Amino acid sequence: MYIKTVDNDEIPRCIQVFEQSINSPVTRKSYRERLDAFMEFCKISDYEILVKTEPKQLQTHLENYVMYLKRKHEKGDFRARSFAAYLAAIEAFFVQNDVDLNFKKDLEP
**CA 28, 86, 11, 17 torsion-angle sign:** negative
Cα gap 26→10, rounded to integer Å? 21
Phi, psi dihedrals of residue 99, rounded to the nearest 5°: -110, 120
Assess if residue 69 is contained within a domain. Answer: yes
Give the domain extent around 42.
24-96
Assess if residue 28 is contained within a domain. Answer: yes
Assess if residue 11 is contained within a domain. Answer: no
Higher pLDDT, 5 or 102: 102
> In this structure, which long-range contacts are made by residues 21-27, counting pairs with CB atoms below 8 Å and at least 24 apart in sequence?
21/92, 21/96, 22/92, 25/1
Assess if residue 82 is contained within a domain. Answer: yes
Assess if residue 106 is contained within a domain. Answer: no
Assess if residue 60 is contained within a domain. Answer: yes
Q: Which amino acid is at 55?
A: P
- What is the average per-residue pLDDT within 54-72? 94
pLDDT, residue 78, reads 80
pLDDT, residue 107, reads 60
Query: Residue 91, class by beta-carbon neighbours within 10 Å (0-12 exposed, 13-18 middle, 19+ buried)?
Result: middle
Whether residue 96 contacts residue 17, with contact meaning beta carbons closer than 8 Å, is answered with yes
Assess if residue 75 is contained within a domain. Answer: yes
Assess if residue 13 is contained within a domain. Answer: no
Q: What is the pLDDT of residues 22-35, one digit of tens each?
A: 999 999 999 999 99
Q: List CB contacts of 82: < 8 A, sequence separation 6 or more.
A: none
pLDDT reading at 17 higher than 90:
yes
If one counts the domains in the chain, the total is 1
